[in-house]
Amino acid sequence: MYELQKCVNKTVKVKLKNMVTYRGVLVKVDMYMNIYLQKAEEYDESGKAMASYGDVIIRGNNILYVEIENGIFP
């Protein structure tokens, strides 16, 4: 979690256990690994864009992994 806190205001991809992916700007992550994204976009398993959202809250227990855009920590 602490590494994710360093990535606030960076673009991230969040893969869920149901294989849906969200991409957006990381606003906040809490101690339960709940993630708050802005400018979020949803993608299906094949990578096809499904929807565009403003703000999204993703519950930590649904997350499979988080990928930092460009793969570089600050």
Q: Does pLDDT of 48 surpass 70?
A: yes
Asked whether 51 and 44 are in contact (CB, 8 A), the reply is no
As given in the structure block, the two tokens for residue 57 are 């809250």
Residue 72 or 35, more confident? 35
% of the chain at pLDDT higher than 70: 93
* pLDDT score, position 69: 83
At 47 the three-state DSSP class reads coil
What pLDDT does 30 receive? 93
Among 1-10, 25-34, 37-46, 47-56, the minimum mean pLDDT is found in 1-10
Alpha helices in the chain (DSSP H): 2-5
Q: What is the mean pLDDT of the chain?
A: 91
b/e for 2-17, b at 16 or more Cβ within 10 A? Answer: eebeebeeeebbbbee
Q: Token digits for 45?
A: 């398993």
